[in-house]
């Protein structure tokens, strides 16, 4: 309530369908409810957003939490409901340009390309233009995939440390898990079949 703007930025490897958007909305709502349901903190203590997994701890953006209530001489729980939500897919990945990448590299380890890095930087500039308030605060949600973390790393330099409330790894915004190393032709056949059957319902 004493922080004017909260912006949630989700960086995911999901292709955004109605189903995946609903899934993202659900996990963000759950996160807000967890934070909002905690008791008010006493002076000198902080309420932390749930800790990051080990693969996301490289980022130091983990501040937040209590806002001084000067009138009452204590602390109040801030309102973590976002003013807006941006959904962002990762930059171009090696798998987007070379189907054979999945033969010897696990899906979650597929990196972004040089073009993907440029796309991520361009997206960072656009985000900076959209989030232009002097008192803006942002929360980043990122899937566990390498390519989404690499995309995130290109975005972070556009924001000051004081503007970033949290960087949170969220496995529920990952795409379907394809499985172990794949046969290229089988993958191409499956994608063709998926297009005919319907992407949302194909298994």
What is the rounded distance in angstroms from the CA atom of residue 4 to the CA atom of residue 58?
Answer: 28
What is the rounded distance in angstroms from the CA atom of residue 118 to the CA atom of residue 167?
Answer: 21
Q: Which of 31, 61, 90, 149 is catalytic?
A: 90
What is the rounded distance in angstroms from the CA atom of residue 59 to the CA atom of residue 142?
Answer: 12
Q: How far is CA 70 from the centre of its chain?
A: 34
Known catalytic residue at 133 = no
Q: What sign has the CA pseudo-torsion 18, 87, 78, 30?
A: positive
Known catalytic residue at 175 = yes
Q: Which one, of 105, 178, 91, lies nearest residue 142 by Cα?
A: 91
Q: Are 162 and 46 in contact (CB under 8 A)?
A: no
What is the rounded distance in angstroms from the CA atom of residue 200 to the CA atom of residue 153?
Answer: 30
What is the rounded distance in angstroms from the CA atom of residue 119 to the CA atom of residue 84?
Answer: 22
Task: Please identify every residue annotated as catalytic.
Answer: 90, 175
């Amino acid at each position: 309530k004493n922080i004017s703007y909260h912006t949630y930025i989700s960086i995911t490897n999901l292709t955004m369908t109605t189903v995946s958007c609903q899934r993202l909305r659900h996990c963000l709502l759950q996160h807000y409810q967890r934070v909002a349901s905690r008791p008010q903190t006493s002076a000198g203590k902080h309420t932390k957003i749930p800790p990051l997994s080990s693969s996301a701890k490289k980022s130091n953006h983990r501040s937040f939490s209590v806002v001084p209530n000067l009138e009452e001489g204590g602390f109040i729980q801030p309102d973590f409901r976002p003013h807006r939500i941006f959904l962002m897919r990762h930059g171009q990945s090696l798998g987007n340009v070379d189907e054979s990448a999945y033969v010897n590299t696990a899906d979650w380890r597929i990196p972004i390309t040089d073009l993907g890095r440029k796309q991520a930087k361009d997206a960072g500039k656009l985000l900076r233009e959209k989030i232009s308030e002097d008192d803006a605060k942002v929360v980043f949600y990122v899937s566990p995939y390498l390519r989404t973390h690499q995309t995130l790393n290109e975005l972070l330099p556009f924001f000051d440390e004081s503007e970033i409330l949290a960087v949170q790894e969220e496995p529920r915004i990952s795409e379907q898990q394809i499985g172990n190393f794949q046969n290229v032709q089988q993958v191409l056949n499956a994608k063709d079949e998926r297009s005919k059957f319907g992407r949302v319902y194909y298994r």
